[in-house]
Structures are given as structure tokens and as C-alpha cells.
Structure 1
Amino acid sequence: MALLMHSCTLLAKILVFPLYLAQVCGLYKFYKRIFPAFVYKVTFRYNEIMKDKKRELFRSLTKFYPPNGPLRLLEVGCGTGANFEHYPTGCKVTCIDSNPYCERYLKMAKAKNEHLVYERFVVASGEDLRAVEDNSVDVVVCTLVLCSVNNPPKVLQEAKRVLRPGGGFFFMEHVVADPTSLAYFFQHVFEPFWYYFCDGCEITRATWQHIEAAGFSDLELHHIKAPLNAFVKPHIVGYAVK
């Protein structure tokens, strides 16, 4: 089975080689412009399916309110603002995303969620949050992001840096399937296609290992089976405390 999987994966990589060349030559940048529109449409379906899980997760935000003042929340990889509806009223939100073309859709999400206070939108990668001061936020949110960043451990260290002592890091991520499952086979075979059509997303990451190794003082992490297609059915969800 392993030999078959590696052979099929190699064939997939050969088939997507033109996309690799396009990326190297800079032609793939055009996709960055249209990807937010794709995400905006997919978000509605994902939110509908995962609404209860998101509501349950973000209910724990109340544990991280500071003694005085509103909750200060930083969302890394905010995309098109899919999580805004789950944030508590009066929460101060700073949005960060590496794709500048997300801002148009963020404005629409903000208009629909006037219960929040929006601080600013920063174009930056999760690995470089220099625009945010040390110990300056109560919560960092990172959902469906660690699958596509270049360096997950660096993102987690940056999240810890900007969190105040006792602050929370909230996550919801799809992860690699059990190695004994058929889903594991298909994840590896189709990942080369998935990577280019989903803007660098990798479906074979054991993201929980990075979170467990990040050095948080406490961790609530759960493996769940999301009611989605087999490629992204395995999920982890929870929060960690600095």
C-alpha cells in the first residue's frame, strides 16, 4: 500500500508540474487575487456545517477577559472574516492575513458584525507579527491557517509572544488522517493538486504535534471527525494557555 501511495503521489506531482513552474515564474500570483472570492463562498458552507463546533469553541473566550476593559483579540489568517459572528460583543479585533485581497471581503464581514470593534487590518504572514507588540492581546485565534503557513512552530511562537501571560490561543484545524485509513492514502495522493488549488494548503500535516511542542502552560486539544469530505474530515479543535 505504501509503495502504491508513493507511486500515485509521484504521478500527481508530475501532473501539477506546470503549476509549479507557474509559481516559480510568478504567474501564480494572479490566483492570490481570486482566491479570497473562492474562500468567501466556501466559508458559508463550512460555517453552516461547523457552526456548533465553532460556537462551543469560542464560548471559552469568556475565560480570557482582562480585569478591566474589553477583550483584545488578534486573528491570524483572518481570511474573509468567517469567525466574526462568534466573537463576543465589544471585542476589539485586529486582523492579520498575508493576502491583501482579503480586505474587500473583510469589509463586508465587518458590516454584518457591527457588535465588534475593529482595530486594523495588517498584511503580514503568521510567522512575522512584528506589527503586534509583546504581551499585548488577550486571545489569538488561528483557524484553518496552520495547514498553509510555511513554518507552523514559528507561527505558534509568535502567537505566544503577543499574548499576555495567561492569554489564550484558539485553534480549529484539519489534520492528517490515521495512517491505517483509506483517507490517509487519498490525502497524500491528492495533496499536490490540493496545494495549488487551495493556495498552499497541505492536508497531511500533524498540526497537533506542533501545538503540543509549543510550550504552552495548559492545553485543551480534541481530535474530532468533522462532517466534511474525507480529505478534511479529521480535525483538531481547542485552546492553549500562555
Structure 2
Amino acid sequence: MALAILALRLVVYILALPMFLLNFLGVWSWVCKKWFPYLLKRLTVMYNTEMASRKQELFSNLQEFAGPSGKLSLLEVGCGTGANFKFYPPGCRVICIDPNPNFEKFLFNSVAENRHLQFERFVVAAGENMHQVADGSVDVVICTLVLCSVNNQEKILREVRRVLRPGGAFYFMEHVSDEPSTWNYFWQQVLDPVWFLLFDGCNLTRESWKAVEQAGFSKLKLQHIQAPLSWTLVRPHIYGYAVK
């Protein structure tokens, strides 16, 4: 299987050579940052439709982690277009972080559509360096479809633990690598290089559950599922929450 993967990857590289050349010159990444929010806006509508029940289940106990005031303080890392807003409890205070400033107008459209939230600010920053957020200052950190594209999973999870108050929770929902014995895994391995360019640094082959398991949380509830999605390549998912 390994030789077949290498051979087909070579074919993919050859077919997508213009794309890789533009990326080498820095043109592709610049263009991608501009158009990706428009694509993601459409994709998240589809994703939310197919994953609504899972998201509702995942976020059903968010309010349990509210601080002494009873008002939940929530930080969403890699917020994108604000696709999770409608699943958050009324009155919670929301801070959003994303490295792509081009998401801002889509994010504020989502804010306008979700008046039940108290939106505080949008910070343009990578999750690996959230110095604008103070230590132990939030009750909950949310991260969905983000660990697939960050540069350093261990570093972003250290930052998550830093900004969470003691007893706070980290919620996650991520697509991951499939079982090595499956055909889906085979095609994930073959198509990963071009997928990375088409979807702004997204990786199909990450075993993100390992990073979460090793992040040092005191309690972890993590499930592996085959998500009910139209795109087979991203059906393998993990979701759950971890307590600091």
C-alpha cells in the first residue's frame, strides 16, 4: 500500500504542479486567504446541516462551566465565519480568534444573526500565540475543525490550558485520519498534499486525538465517530471536551 500511495502522490504532484509553483512563489497562499472565507461560508452551512445533532449534543452542557457570576465566558479559536454561534447558550460572552483577518465581515454578520450572545471582540492571531488573552480568564475554549490546519497542535493546546481558568473546559470537534486498513485512509494519504493547498492548510492525515490525550487535562471525554457527511475523506471525526 505504501508504494501505491507514493506512486499516486507523484501523479497528484504532477497534475497540480501549477498550483504548487504558485504556492512556492507566495501567490497561492495570498489568493487563498482572500477567497477561502467565501468558500468556508458555503461549506459551514452544509456542515452544520449534517452535524447539527452532534454539535447540539457536544455543546449541551456548556453552561455547567460558567463562573461564579453565572455568565459563561467563552473563547473560540479559529472562529472562521461564526458557524458555532447558534449553538451557544444565551448571554454568554464570546471572544473570537482567527489568523485570517478576511473572516471579519462574515463573523460580524453571524454576530448580527445571533443576538442572544454578548460578543466582546475579534482578535487576529494564531492559536499558538494568544497573548492578547490573559491567563485563566475564560471558562470555556471552543475549537472545531481547527487542529487539522494549525502549525503546532501541542503549542495551541498549551495556550488553551493557559487561558482556561482552573476547572474550565476545552471543547473540540475535528476531522482526523481514518483507520490505516481502510480505503479512505489510502485516499487521504494520496490527496493530502493538494487538499492542503485547496483548503488553506488543512491536513487530512492528522491523528489529532493523540495531541488532545497528551495535553495534560485532568479529565477527557473523547469519542471517535464516522460523521454523517457527504465528503467521505473527512468523515472520521473526534469530538468531546477536556477539563483543566
| TM-score computed with the length of structure 1 as normaliser | 0.97
Matched residue, 1:4? 4
Give SS of 1:231's match.
helix
2:237 pairs, out of 229, 235, 238, with 235
Give SS of 2:111's match.
helix
Instruction: Map 1:99-178; keep pairs closer than 5 Å.
Output: 99-178=100-179
Matched residue, 2:18? 18
Q: Which amino acid aligns with 1:13?
A: Y
Matched residue, 1:95? 96
RMSD over aligned CA atoms reads 1.0
Q: Which amino acid aligns with 1:25?
A: L
Instruction: Map 1:207-218; keep pairs closer than 5 Å.
Output: 207-218=208-219
Give SS of 2:165's match.
strand
Q: 2 CA distance for matches of 1:26 and 1:144?
A: 24
List gaps (5 residues or longer) in structure 1. Answer: none
Alpha-carbon deviation of 1:11? 2.5
Alpha-carbon deviation of 1:14? 3.5
Q: Which amino acid aligns with 1:154?
A: K
Instruction: Map 1:60-79; keep pairs closer than 5 Å.
Output: 60-79=61-80
Deviates more, 1:24-33 or 1:148-157: 24-33
Matched residue, 1:35? 36
List gaps (5 residues or longer) in structure 2. Answer: none
Q: Which amino acid aligns with 2:234?
A: V
Give SS of 1:94's match.
strand
Q: 1 CA distance for matches of 2:161 and 2:226?
A: 28
Q: Which amino acid aligns with 1:9?
A: R
Between the two proteins, what is the percent identity of the paired residues? 53
Deviates more, 1:102-111 or 1:17-26: 17-26
Residues 190-219 of structure 1: CA deviation (Å, up to 9, x unaligned): 111211110010010000000000000000
Q: Which amino acid aligns with 1:7?
A: A
Q: 2 CA distance for matches of 1:3 and 1:23?
A: 26
Aligned length: 242
Residues 55-106 of structure 1: CA deviation (Å, up to 9, x unaligned): 0000021221112141000000000000000000000000000100000101
